[in-house]
Chains A and B, each alone.
Chain A
Amino acid sequence: MKRGDICIALLLLAVAAAVLLLRPQGKPVVYVNGQRITASTEINGVVIELQNGKARVQSSPCRDQICVHAGWLERPGDVAVCLPQRVSVEIRSGKSAIDAVAY
């Protein structure tokens, strides 16, 4: 093989490696009721705060406050659900290892 061949082969390998490695690595994304959000928001009276890729229910008019007590959500799969106000907040990632949580 000539030097040129080796160069091209390495180039192809590099491109393949780049495609594999630079695939969207599943940065944590916040979803509210199935919709992606990128900033703090309010829905059905539930105030959702976003900060440095983390999210939490800051306040809710519901009686049980279960959603507020869920605290900061940061790992993919973390959820806070407010059944009375019909709001779910969840962290997802394109490469999350977990498909669902049973309870």
Chain B
Amino acid sequence: MKQGQKRLRLWAAIAGVLVIAAVLLYSLAPRQVTQTDFDMGSVRRLTVWRSGNLRLAPLPSYEAQAAAQPPPPPVEALIAATGGAFDPYIGALVALWNIDSKDGSPPRVPAQAEIDAALQERALDPGAYGKGLACDFVLQALGGDRRIRGGVLDLGGNILTFGSKPFGAPFKVALRDPLGGANDTLGVFTLEGTHFLSTSGSYEKYFTQGGVRYHHIFDPKTGYPAARDPGLCSVTVLSDSGALGDALSTACFVLGYAQAGGLPWNDRGALFLYEDGSIKALGDIEQMFTITNEKYHWVSE
């Protein structure tokens, strides 16, 4: 056999191995599947990276399940830990202010006597932890499926990440700019593994009366929208539990930065955003968050 033919065969073999390797790598790499639907008045978007030909079944209404349950023990414990600044049993107060205006009638500022009466009632409003608890349910439902390598759930802005993305890439979760337009963001979280992100902000739902803005997160001590930390725009909590993280974001918003620091802080951290663009961090969150919007800057205290 001629020398040239041998060489040619060698090269053909190398090329063949390369092609087979490429095809294997491509077919074994987890595929991305995304599903969008609506549940209990919010948009739900689930992306998973899965091996094989798994189809995503529509998720049941975990939000309805979460709303039908009493608060889980860690959430219940937060009532005492915050000295009542967090309290899911203010359903009567929430209904009185009617900021959701679910019945179609406009919201209004109630009289003090009405507020006092509503604060005496103990009616459960799962709004402060329900979406987070629903995230916990989704994680339970999907976590056992070994074909699913990882995923991202967006439940009306509450984000759950779990598992991992192909080739070990981290999850990138942007944070919406509360002072900007619908598609403006202010920074990005870089996350690996299981995390919950929950945000409570004064900009989501509010109404204006007599030139004053009334938002939807109430201080159970006053019966009025929370205002202990002037200029506070929103709080984003990074947690390993959906229900607790969701509840903590509400608790932190009501308490404000100074008082929230006194919480028995066993979660990953929280970002406090202010109207002047300053951001204060609590716990271990700064290294996971990069500011990408020049309106915002870190402030340390």
Contacts and interface: CB of A to CB of B under 8 A. Distances in A.
A80 B189 CA distance: 22
Please report whether the interface of chain A is mostly helix, strand, loop or mixed according to DSSP: mixed
Contacts of A73: 183
Using C-beta atoms within 8 Å of the partner chain, give the interface range for chain A: 20 to 34
Contact of A101 (B181, B185, B201): B185
B174 A98 contact: yes
Contact of A102 (B8, B158, B165, B181): B158
B172 to A, nearest CB: 5
B182 A70 contact: yes
Contacts of B14: 12
Contact of A12 (B15, B47, B157, B204): B15
A7 to B, nearest CB: 10
Contacts of A80: 182
Contacts of B36: 31, 33-34, 88, 90
Contacts of A2: 4, 7
B182 A100 contact: no
A5 B37 CA distance: 56
Contacts of A101: 154, 157, 159, 173-176, 185
Interface of A: 2, 4-5, 8-9, 12, 16, 19, 31, 33-34, 66, 69-71, 73, 75, 77-81, 83, 86, 88, 90, 92, 97-103
